């Protein structure tokens, strides 16, 4: 397991699913973890479970000033910032493009795209000044293939894939390690929402078809180590057997 002793990580969308699993797994690996989410009670409870290694910071990632303040609070609390996991994202609206509610569509972009940019924009100067750091963005196969009813989500994840490439392109010389993780379908609340929608083939999958939330979390931990340097600037696809093997994941 990758050793994160003495490291500090910010995890957005940390109240449940992949974010909560990553918080626990990173803390178990020795990291200090700053838990960011709009769900104040949930991240406070999780921080309490983890203990003194964790701090809960209520934050709406669609607002840059809140993300910037969260980064400053993390640095003040733990003395630095080594890892950023841009995990916060929403799926809805699920609707045909011609029928989609513009306000809901724009709201998703505010969280899924602007939220990732805000995290990178707030963290990169801090990491560059310290000589390096790791930024991990949660991507999706939806970034590369259109899925009925998912115009907002597919568009947002395509944008995240480019932000990952841009971060690596512009930050690698300053010691930044930037990668994306495409986790496949994961057993989280998002999959229940997809199932309920009845739209596109993803909704036809059964619960047992999805990987548990700790798999992408453990892959994120592996991506913090040098063994993942082959994938800098790229998207790590958890569906690939080689990735699962290198991350220590088995069926």
Number of other CB atoms surrounding residue 207 within 10 Å: 10
Give the helix/strand (H/E) hosting 236. Answer: strand 235-237
Catalytically annotated residue among 15, 21, 139, 151: 139
Q: Which residue has the tokens 């999805």?
A: 210
User: Which residues lie closer than 8 Å to 189 by C-beta, 6 or more apart?
Assistant: 16, 17
Residue 95 has φ and ψ, to the nearest 5°, of -165, 150
d(CA 171, CA 153): 26
Q: Active-site residue among 7, 92, 114, 157?
A: 157
The CA–CA distances, whole Å, from 162 to 8, 96, 108, 141 equal: 25, 24, 17, 14
What's the distance, Cα to Cα, between the start and end of the chain in Å? 18
- Treating both helix axes as pointing N-terminal to C-terminal, what angle do 115-130 and 64-78 enclose, rounded to 10 degrees? 40
153 is catalytic: yes
Of 153, 156, 182, 231, catalytic: 153
What is the DSSP pairing of strand 83-86 with strand 54-58? unpaired
Q: Where do the DSSP E strands lie in 156-205? A: 176-182
- The residue assigned the tokens 């690996």 is 29
Q: Which residues are catalytic?
A: 139, 153, 157
């Amino acid at each position: 397991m990758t050793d994160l002793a003495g490291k500090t990580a910010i995890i957005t969308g940390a109240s449940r699913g992949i974010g909560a699993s990553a918080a626990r797994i990173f803390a178990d690996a020795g990291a200090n973890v700053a838990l960011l989410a709009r769900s104040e009670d949930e991240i406070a409870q999780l921080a309490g479970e983890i203990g003194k290694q964790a701090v809960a910071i209520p934050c709406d990632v669609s607002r840059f000033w809140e993300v910037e303040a969260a980064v400053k609070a993390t640095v003040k609390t733990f003395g630095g910032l080594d890892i950023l996991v841009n995990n916060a994202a929403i799926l809805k609206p699920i609707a045909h493009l011609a029928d989609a509610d513009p306000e809901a569509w724009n709201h998703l972009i505010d969280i899924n795209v602007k939220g990732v940019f805000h995290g990178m924009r707030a963290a990169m100067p801090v990491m560059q000044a310290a000589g390096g750091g790791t930024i991990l963005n949660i991507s999706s196969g939806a970034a590369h293939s259109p899925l009925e009813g998912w115009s907002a989500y597919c568009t947002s994840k395509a944008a995240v894939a480019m932000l990952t490439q841009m971060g690596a392109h512009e930050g690698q010389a300053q010691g930044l390690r930037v990668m994306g993780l495409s986790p496949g379908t994961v057993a989280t609340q998002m999959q229940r929402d997809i199932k309920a929608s009845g739209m596109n083939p993803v909704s036809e999958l059964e619960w047992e078809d999805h990987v548990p939330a700790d798999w992408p979390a453990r892959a994120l931990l592996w991506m913090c180590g040098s063994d993942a340097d082959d994938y800098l600037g790229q998207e790590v696809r958890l569906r690939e057997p080689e990735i699962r093997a290198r991350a220590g994941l088995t069926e």
